[in-house]
Each structure stands twice: as structure tokens, then as C-alpha cells.
Structure 1
Amino acid sequence: MGSKLETLRRSAGGNVRESMGADRQSSAEQGGAASGPPARWQGVTKPKDAALIPVDRITNDPDQPRKEFDEEALRRLADSLKTRGQLQPIRVRWDEGSQRYVVLVGERRWRAARLAGLPALSCIVHDAPLDADERLMVQLVENALREDLKPVEQARAYRALMDANGWSGRQLAEELHIGQASVVRALALLELPEPVQEQVDSGALAPSVAYEIGKLPDPSQQAEVARAVVSEGLNRSEVGQVIQSIKARRPAPSPKPDPVTIDLGDGVSVTVRWRKATSIGLSQALRRALKLAQEQERDRGRDPDGTGEAA
């Protein structure tokens, strides 16, 4: 299982080992410490596939599975490149047809470098031939493990990796070393209506809440509940109650009302706050409050009007 992925990983690992001089003897070992280079250079070699490439000689891969890039995040990354420089090289391959280098991994950094006006980027050139499936696999693995991907975008990367390799969700979790439950929850987002997916990717709807909404069998109900969650600010627990109510075909509990303040005059006001979703309205809450206040007055030995001792 995962033979292609392991081969690509070993290839990438080889580049790292080579850049660190792991498979070579140091000059000190070969010719003696006296004739070797300074200590800071011993055992260190420059990777033969590293290059500083002009930004205008690099282009993006039109088949890259990642299609959306947040403009604000790109601007922040561009500012970082200007002030701190490039901290990690991108990975490219040479395309004979276009006579340009094509980004394999690191398109965000390339886009940000263009915004920042950098003349060149540090790159690792992948010289080994890659067919379309292998290129897709390299890009999907990188995308699937990124923390800055939008939830639905990451779910699509998971699905594409599974389809490309014939993996189950369990096998994908093993290959990427992530929890199987995370894969299950992510893939469930792909079953939601497109408007709900957009609410998730925009940040209006939490992925965990969207997962709960996905338990409803009817897409129109999913969309309706999602709209209610966003407009009324329901939390995951409240969404669970709504979903259970829909499944049981009973009225859903009312959402938690906003606090209400009533000015009684003479510098006195009464505020009613609801701590959870409930069917108790304002009038009922005030009647209960009045009853409790009267009981407290009696317990203190005064009549409800506060005019004297209770009879």
C-alpha cells in the first residue's frame, strides 16, 4: 500500500540527506583533520539540485489541486518575505514545452514573492521524471497536511488522494499519520450542499457544527439549519438539540433569546437574561420572578407591598 507515495518520500528524503552530507565521508575522514575544511563546513555539502531562480522564470501548475488563495494571507506572507526573507525553498520541475520552471510545492510562496517584488526564489529542482499521477500525489500530500487550508479544500485534497490511490479513509489516515476520525469528519463536509460548504470555508459555520448538520438526511433541511445557526448564533449543543428534534419530528427548542431590560421608572430597571435555549417567554419569566420576589419578602417577615409585618 502506498508504494508510489513511499517512493516519492524516499526521493525527497534523499535530497535532504544529500544536502546534509549524510551519505558522504567528510574531508577530515578522507584526508585527515589537519587538511580538512573549517569545522563549520565539515560534513556539509551543497545540494546539486538547489538553485536561485528568477521569479519570472517560474510559473504555477494549472493542474495544481489547490485553486483558492486568500489574498489577505498572501499579502501578509509577502510582507514577511520582504522583512525576513525566504525561510524555506519551494520545489519546482523544468517544463521543456513552456521553457519555464513549474511549481510542484510552494505556490503560495511563489505568489507572495511576486507580490513582494522579489527578483528570485530559492528552489529545489526535481529532476526525476514525474508522470501526471505522481505530480498530483506530491501536491496533494503537501496540500492535505497544510494547516492553512480551508476545511472543504482540505477535504477535497483527502478525497483526491483516496481516489488517486484507491485508499479507504483508514488507509489515508495511516499514510498521513492523522486520526481516522479527523478524516471522517472532513469527508462528511463534501456531502453538504454547496451553500453550506461556502459557509464553512468562509468561517461563518464551524466544521464541527457542519458535521452535526450533515447528520440530517435532507439537503434542504441541512441548508435551513445552517442558515439558522449562522443567523442566530447557535452553538454545537443547541444544533444537536435541533437535529434530534427534526429527526424525532417534534418542535425544536427555541433559540436563546437576547436579554431584555425594562425601565420601571424612579431609577429602577429589570433585566431578564436567558442562560440557555428555552420556550419560556418574557411575560412568563417576569411572572415567575414576581412570584419568587414575593416569597422572598414573606420569608423576611414582610408583606409583598413592604408596608409592615406579615399577619
Structure 2
Amino acid sequence: MGKADDLLRSMGGIITESASHRGTPAAMPAAASGPHPASDRPGARSKVAFDIPIDAIEPDPAQPREQFDHEPLERLADSIRSKGVLQPLRVRWDESKFRYILIVGERRWRAAGLAGLDKVPCVVDDRTPDPGEILALQLIENCLREDLTPIEQAAAFKKLMDVNRWSGNRLAKELGIPQSAISQALSLLSLPAPVQDAVDHGELPASTACEISKLPDASAQEELAARVVRDGLTRAQTTSAIRRRKVTERVLDTESGPRVTVSYRRGLDVDLVIAALRDALQMVESERADAA
């Protein structure tokens, strides 16, 4: 059982604890009077949700989600106005800032502010989780509640791998998802910015973008991506176009010593290849005549 399973169990515990939390939480001491109710066990986190002033909390700068779309936040804010915050946020106390730092729940925190709430229910960690654990919790929560954009998710996967020094295979095992999903997500990060933008704006399917990433040249990737968006090419049509673009290379070692390399796109008419070779031969003969 991997770390992700433990994290998911931990998050499940938070959900269970919040089942009875519907607007009459235990009173929370003022933020200025101390960090949070202390646990008798060092390193443990509180098992109870407490109301904490929204303005005493700030987001984690390492949060993997970089953008929060306004419309989904407004929908969540409407839900909070009618039902309240049904699941507590998870926070830690930062003594240097004398403020709470979000571990998971930034989307709920922002929506609660839009809904006009002054306080939000929080479960407080009595320890500072390591960066890898925080990132894993944030990524898991985001993926469970509202999908990251494909590029955000790919970047979060990459960051989680870097923080923990995990391979793609290890990450897949920890998160319980196919390794192919990790590989496909990471392939999006190699695409030029305009292509990534098209993916994040829903103009280009992520699965099709993964195929486009197989082209070695950035300009060719942009060109094909633009064609997919413009002409509405399917993934199968895109794959076919990529195969036609891939270059076939032949290297010929002649008896006299020189090595000749011939490169051409697959599917190109053989007569055109022969004509190009004849043109090349004429160029070499012309250079020889000029040198004589």
C-alpha cells in the first residue's frame, strides 16, 4: 500500500469527521490568541474541525492549481450559501507569519469568500507536512473534486516526481493510475506554449496533443495542432498525418568511400525521390565542373 493510499484514507477521515459539521462548530479561539488547539500528541493533527477566520488563512504558494475559473467558483459559492462548507479545509500553522497556510481546500476557501462567509471550518495539522506529502494531498484533492487543466495536471505530476525523486512508474503506483496516463500527461509538457494553450482552452483534445508531441519539430507540432483545430481532425486522422510526416532515412555507404544519406517523408511518391536524387547528382557534377 503506497503513500497515496494513506493520504486518501486521511482525507476520507476528514470527510467523515465533517459529516456532523453543518454550521454549529466548536468555537475557535481568536487567531491572535494562539495558533490552534494543541494536541496532546506531538506531530498529530486535530481530529475536530474548528471555525477559523478567512482572513487568517492564506493559500500555499506551492499549490499545484495555478488558475481558478470564475464560473465554477461561483457555482461552488452558491452551494456554500445554501448548504455551508460541508467538508473542512486542512491547514497548518505558520509561526513566522502567525497565519494559517492551506494544505488542501483552496478552492473551498476562495468560494467561501465569494459567498460572504467570515469563517470556514478547518482541521489543523499540528505538524508541518513535508513538501512531497503536501503536494500529493493537494493533487489528489484537486483530481478528486475538480479536474486540473491537462497542462496543470501534467505539471503537478512532474513536480510530484521531482519532489519525491520518483520515476513515472513509481508515481503511477503511488496514485493508483496507469503508467501510460502519466507518460501521456508528461508528453504535453514538451509541446510549444501555443499548443499547450489550445489544450487548456479545450480547443485541442489532450489525447490528440499527445500524438502531436511525437513530432520532433516544434514548428511542425504547431502547424499540425492548428490544422486539427481548424479542420476538426480526429485523433485517428491526426495519427495518420503524423505517420506521413515522419521522415524515412536511408544511409548508403559507397564502395569508393563517401556516405550518402537520403531523407524523405513516408508515403512520398518514389518518382519524386528519384527526381530529387537526380537533381542532387547534377548539383555535384556542376560543382565538379566549376572546380576544374
TM-score by length of 2: 0.69
2:18–2:86 Cα contact (<8 Å) kept:
no
Residue in structure 1 matched with residue 154 of structure 2 by the alignment: 155
In the TM superposition, residue 17 of structure 1 has moved relative to its aligned partner by 8.4
What is the root-mean-square deviation in Å for CA atoms of aligned residues?
2.7
2:15–2:87 Cα contact (<8 Å) kept:
no
Q: Distance in 1 between matches of 2:55 and 2:161?
A: 34
Cα gap change, 1:132/1:176 in structure 2, threshold over 3 Å: closer, same or farther?
closer
Q: Distance in 1 between matches of 2:180 and 2:207?
A: 12
Q: How does 1:131-210 map to 2 (within 5 A)?
A: 131-143=130-142, 147-210=146-209
Residue in structure 1 matched with residue 89 of structure 2 by the alignment: 90
Q: Distance in 1 between matches of 2:55 and 2:176?
A: 36
SS at match of 2:61: coil
- Give CA-to-partner distance per residue, 1:262-289, whole Å, 9 cap, x none: xxxxxxxxxxxxxxxxxxxxxxxxxxxx
Gaps of 5+ in 2: 20-45, 248-264, 269-292
1:155–1:187 Cα contact (<8 Å) kept:
yes
SS at match of 1:189: helix
> Does 1:101 find its partner at 2:106?
no
1:141–1:161 Cα contact (<8 Å) kept:
no
Residue in structure 2 matched with residue 66 of structure 1 by the alignment: 65
In the TM superposition, residue 107 of structure 1 has moved relative to its aligned partner by 0.2
Structure possessing the higher radius of gyration over alpha carbons: 1
Residue in structure 1 matched with residue 109 of structure 2 by the alignment: 110
Report the number of matched residues: 225
1:140–1:160 Cα contact (<8 Å) kept:
no
Residue in structure 1 matched with residue 238 of structure 2 by the alignment: 239
Q: Distance in 1 between matches of 2:65 and 2:12?
A: 24
Q: Could you tell me the percent identity over the aligned residues?
A: 54
1:144–1:158 Cα contact (<8 Å) kept:
no
Q: Distance in 1 between matches of 2:136 and 2:111?
A: 24
Cα gap change, 1:17/1:72 in structure 2, threshold over 3 Å: closer, same or farther?
closer
In the TM superposition, residue 55 of structure 1 has moved relative to its aligned partner by 1.5
- Give CA-to-partner distance per residue, 1:84-120, whole Å, 9 cap, x none: 2212111111122222211110100101111111121
Cα gap change, 1:88/1:199 in structure 2, threshold over 3 Å: closer, same or farther?
same
Residue in structure 1 matched with residue 56 of structure 2 by the alignment: 57
Partner amino acid, structure 2, of 1:115 = L
> Does 1:215 find its partner at 2:183?
no
- Give CA-to-partner distance per residue, 1:137-173, whole Å, 9 cap, x none: 4334434555421011011111111111121111111
